[in-house]
């Protein structure tokens, strides 16, 4: 049984996945896979950590001489065998792998960590971009509602007094009532750009020949709504550009690794 097979056996005996074992040892999943396939050998610090976690000795892990040891005796023996185990690992690594392989393994682990970090960052930019697009769309919808009333107000309307029945939100939404030209009493929910109005007040508005009512809206809120919409859209575009750049860099790194 090889070192990798013994590591795999320890992991399965503890009912651990490669991801869970990697988390305990603070390494990547790819490192666990390489160890179990005997494509790489763990460092002395990871060997000691595995011995402490899984109740075995380095003799068993490296050479298969024994199966178990108590945690107390393990810590004592490991402190005495640190130097010997280090030499054993180095010699076995040199025999089983070509020159420079350890450096490549360490570099690969670093590259995997960097790749994972880039992927998380890319996903974050994507989520932020989508969120900003949604917020920008919300502001555009609000602007459209106000703009429709503003445009309607400017076309063939006449001034009239209108009763405020119920206020839902100050300076935004209210129910109002008025008499139409056909002697019918109309009630309508409108966007009311007037602050300090109470229920039961009579206010001036504008009514057209189709018995539709409008109120003169201030231009400043409309401008602010447009500015907020544009701001969030710019942020969304920047996030999407950053997302695309990271994705392009990932592809380039993948090509370089495949060429090497």
Domain extent listing, the chain: 3-97, 158-217
Q: pLDDT averaged over the chain?
A: 76
Name the class of domain 3-97: mainly alpha
Please state the φ and ψ torsions of residue 156, each to the nearest 5 degrees: 50, 50
Question: Cα 167 to chain center, whole Å?
Answer: 40
Q: How far is CA 191 from each of CA 145, 157, 220, 248, rounded to the nearest angstrom?
A: 8, 17, 15, 47
DSSP state letter for 217: P
Task: Note the pLDDT tens digit of each residue in 30-58.
Answer: 988 888 898 888 888 888 888 888 888 88
Query: What is the C-alpha end-to-end distance of the chain, expressed in Å?
Result: 31
For range 239-254, the mean pLDDT: 83
Dihedral (CA of 69, 82, 94, 114) sign: positive
Q: Which residue has the higher pLDDT, 88 or 124?
A: 124
DSSP state letter for 164: E
pLDDT above 50: residue 144:
yes
pLDDT above 70: residue 199:
yes
Please state the φ and ψ torsions of residue 97, each to the nearest 5 degrees: -130, 150
For range 70-80, the mean pLDDT: 52
Band of residue 149 on the pLDDT scale cut at 50, 70, 90: low
pTM: 0.38
Contact call for residues 212 and 190 (beta carbons, < 8 A): no
pLDDT above 80: residue 100:
no
Q: Which residue has the higher pLDDT, 231 or 223?
A: 231
Band of residue 95 on the pLDDT scale cut at 50, 70, 90: low
pLDDT of residue 68: 44
**Residue 189: enclosing H or E segment and its boundaries?**
strand 185-191
For range 191-214, the mean pLDDT: 75
Tokens for 158? Answer: 């006449």
Band of residue 234 on the pLDDT scale cut at 50, 70, 90: very high
């Amino acid at each position: 049984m090889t070192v990798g097979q013994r590591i795999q056996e320890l992991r399965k005996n503890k009912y651990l996945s490669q991801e869970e074992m990697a988390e305990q040892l603070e390494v990547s999943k790819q490192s666990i896979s390489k160890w179990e396939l005997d494509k790489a050998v763990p460092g002395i610090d990871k060997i000691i950590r595995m011995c402490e976690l899984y109740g075995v000795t380095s003799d068993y892990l490296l050479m298969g001489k024994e199966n178990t040891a108590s945690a107390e005796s393990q810590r004592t023996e490991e402190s005495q065998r640190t130097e010997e185990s280090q030499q054993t690992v180095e010699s076995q690594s040199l025999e089983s792998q070509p020159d420079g392989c350890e450096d490549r393994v360490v570099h690969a682990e670093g590259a995997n960590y960097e790749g994972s970090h880039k992927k998380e960052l890319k996903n974050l930019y994507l989520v932020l971009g989508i969120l900003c697009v949604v917020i920008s769309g919300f502001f555009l919808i609000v602007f459209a509602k106000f703009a429709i009333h503003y445009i309607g107000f400017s076309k063939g309307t006449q001034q009239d007094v209108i009763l405020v029945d119920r206020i839902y939100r100050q300076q935004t939404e209210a129910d109002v009532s008025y008499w139409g030209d056909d002697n019918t009493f109309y009630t309508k929910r409108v966007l009311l750009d007037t602050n300090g109005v109470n229920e039961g007040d009579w206010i001036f508005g504008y009514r057209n020949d189709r018995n539709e009512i409008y109120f003169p809206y201030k231009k400043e809120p409309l401008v602010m709504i447009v500015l907020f919409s544009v701001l969030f859209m710019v942020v969304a575009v920047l996030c999407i550009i950053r997302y695309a750049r990271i994705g392009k860099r990932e592809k380039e790194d993948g090509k370089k690794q495949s060429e090497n």
